[in-house]
Structure 1
């Protein structure tokens, strides 16, 4: 096949957060199929990952994303567009896309995340694949329903839904991260029969996230605990909300039953609301760390009490691959067909119920070890990246590669 144009809303290196992880492995899979030209954004002047991108891509353009969100919001309102699109609008990147298509034999465009669909030229005649991952319009609708910036989030939900349908009709295939997200996406379309939907879930690098590859963090190992760990990008609203839910509700109950318990919030850019709790009884906010594995390895349980979640949670798969017992809400379990009580513990988003499930887990070390071992087996059997991304070849029209995977 000819060249592939890959458009992503962030530089797909290093693979150190949920969206970058998926984009990174998607790029690796595409590079096995043909020459790849990559257009993406960097936050401000940060070009971290440029050297790695240069090694994998035939050509690339990294556009700086410097537009302040309030300015993007004003432009969006004036233009009648979603803020998500204006925030990722770049004349530099648009010019590079047109020049790349003109100079190279581009047979397919693969778009990662709906913000980047605006760069697909109307006149492009090759195949177009849109990886929405999850339904962003539904996420903003959830925020509005929860009373958060109601007008702005309701507007974003409405306009993004229109853009998501436009992209679906434009694409030869629209990828969602789980059957649940695919069903949600179809339910929000005015003409679902005009959109070809494909489910491709998230994988996990089980060699990297291997309990044998990382020792528990010495500071956690030196304290009695029990230790509860939450990982993620901590200025991402659903992550912040979940961590605050633990700190302000669950931890009060856990400390009554386990007086030396500590909840560890691990991930870059913790918000001011989270940092205000750092050092309070039972709470340690670490911020960005060079490697999350020692924290996961030291956890008596990894918590994922997400109240609003879209798509598959990498934090859950990483903890499962590390053979740690995961206690999570139903929203955090989306797209992962594990078994409650066998591969993880699912709880209602109720501090009393979750506390009881955690207490029962910690009172039976053998059960905890059994659930952790089952979790790793589940990830190895069902969530390897190569197997997850195998359908890409067929979607892009590479029949030989698709048949090789099928065999």
Structure 2
């Protein structure tokens, strides 16, 4: 096996943790074909327990602790220097030293970068074949944030959108391939970076359909007689926070007026204070961290993804589809997912449509919708077939 350097901004870990699924499966796939040297940051104390699992997949690994609060403060210096805050957030002398030592000691000829912020550690190795998995167009996410926020945060977000896009374009020009999480995401970046268009592609996320399977036996986490509407995701992530706030304020009251037994379950780690406050509303339940999200999805009457800001593919939608649970999504949450509205899931563009769609499913669950969704995931969202695209880019002459 040949050596490969893999740089990931947040430590990947086993696939029942939503926001790190893609990087974990990428690591597993590459470890089957290369001797992987992994450099990654650990920004959550709970992640340290997964180090042995991740390390077992690697020839060597460097786990750099990162304190999010200190990193945010440190990154503010980028404002004065007219740099991207995201790059300064992940700037670390120890990571750079480890990267340089690993490249020299092992004669590494291939580098995979996961998330543009980590490309700063590969920028001085042009002799290696460098493939970047941007996942999403992060700069456009910051642009969307700026449109939603008021001063002074909108000014900060506009700065980051501008500076990060300039860096993303630089990375795309200098590296051998730039990949994204979906075809729409890749097309967006081609529009933003036309000079690199021939080197821009994508590979879809996948779903472990054995793990997320409706055939498994799950004990219900809900009280008898409840009609559970479920949202899953990291609940300190602002697009998720915005989504559940909107649903709780604009949609759920309409459903509660019609269904006294309806409950809105917000399932996910690290709920922000704004999310915790929603638990004061009638019928809203905020679980915080749960050991396993699958029982909540499996026994939910409806899964909802009412995101108003989104980039890339929403794993929460694919996982609910894999579990054959009926899903109602906003247009933003559907972007990049090859599903047919009305056949595989329900598309709801506004609050009235969301309320009507969820109400219809609460009254009569649509088994055909769930079965079609499961079949679509099995057909299109296999990790091995999708990850083969990054290997092809690495081996291309």
* TM-score, normalising length: structure 2: 0.95
User: Does structure 1 conserve the Cα–Cα contact (< 8 Å) formed by 2:303 and 2:327?
Assistant: yes
The answer to whether 1:352 aligns with 2:352 is yes
Match of residue 205, structure 1, among 208, 230, 235: 208
Question: Counterpart of 2:26?
Answer: 26
User: Does structure 1 conserve the Cα–Cα contact (< 8 Å) formed by 2:230 and 2:264?
Assistant: yes
Question: Counterpart of 1:404?
Answer: none
Question: Counterpart of 1:402?
Answer: none
Matches of 1:31 and 1:270 in 2, distance apart?
34
Match of residue 386, structure 2, among 385, 388, 404: 388
CA 1:198 to 1:70, structure 2 compared with 1: closer, same or farther past 3 Å?
A: closer
* 1:165-216 superposed Cα distances (whole Å, 9 cap, x missing partner): 01101111100111110111111126244x5011101000000000122414
Question: Counterpart of 1:35?
Answer: 35
* 1:259-314 superposed Cα distances (whole Å, 9 cap, x missing partner): 11000000000010111121431100000000000000111000000000000111
> Unpaired segments of 5 or more residues in structure 2?
none
Give secondary structure in 2 for the equivalent of 1:61. Answer: strand
Matches of 1:262 and 1:216 in 2, distance apart?
18
* 1:114-165 superposed Cα distances (whole Å, 9 cap, x missing partner): 1101100424401000000110000000111123411000000000100110
- After superposition, where does 1:190-269 map in structure 2 within 5 Å? 191-193=195-197, 196-218=199-221, 220=222, 222-269=223-270
Report the CA distance between 1:70 and its aligned residue.
Answer: 4.0
Matches of 2:362 and 2:264 in 1, distance apart?
15
Matches of 2:342 and 2:84 in 1, distance apart?
42
Question: Aligned-pair RMSD on alpha carbons?
Answer: 1.6
Give secondary structure in 2 for the equivalent of 1:239. Answer: helix
Matches of 2:31 and 2:361 in 1, distance apart?
44
User: Does structure 2 conserve the Cα–Cα contact (< 8 Å) formed by 1:343 and 1:378?
Assistant: yes
Matches of 1:216 and 1:229 in 2, distance apart?
16
The answer to whether 1:155 aligns with 2:159 is yes
User: Does structure 2 conserve the Cα–Cα contact (< 8 Å) formed by 1:17 and 1:233?
Assistant: no
* TM-score, normalising length: structure 1: 0.93
Matches of 2:177 and 2:378 in 1, distance apart?
27
Matches of 1:318 and 1:123 in 2, distance apart?
38
Question: Counterpart of 1:2?
Answer: 2
Matches of 2:371 and 2:21 in 1, distance apart?
24
User: Does structure 2 conserve the Cα–Cα contact (< 8 Å) formed by 1:269 and 1:287?
Assistant: yes
Question: Counterpart of 1:397?
Answer: 395
Matches of 1:56 and 1:9 in 2, distance apart?
17
Question: Counterpart of 1:307?
Answer: 308
> Unpaired segments of 5 or more residues in structure 1?
400-407
User: Does structure 2 conserve the Cα–Cα contact (< 8 Å) formed by 1:253 and 1:351?
Assistant: no
User: Does structure 1 conserve the Cα–Cα contact (< 8 Å) formed by 2:186 and 2:200?
Assistant: yes
Matches of 1:87 and 1:49 in 2, distance apart?
23
* 1:203-260 superposed Cα distances (whole Å, 9 cap, x missing partner): 0000000012241424x1x332211000000000001110111111111101011111
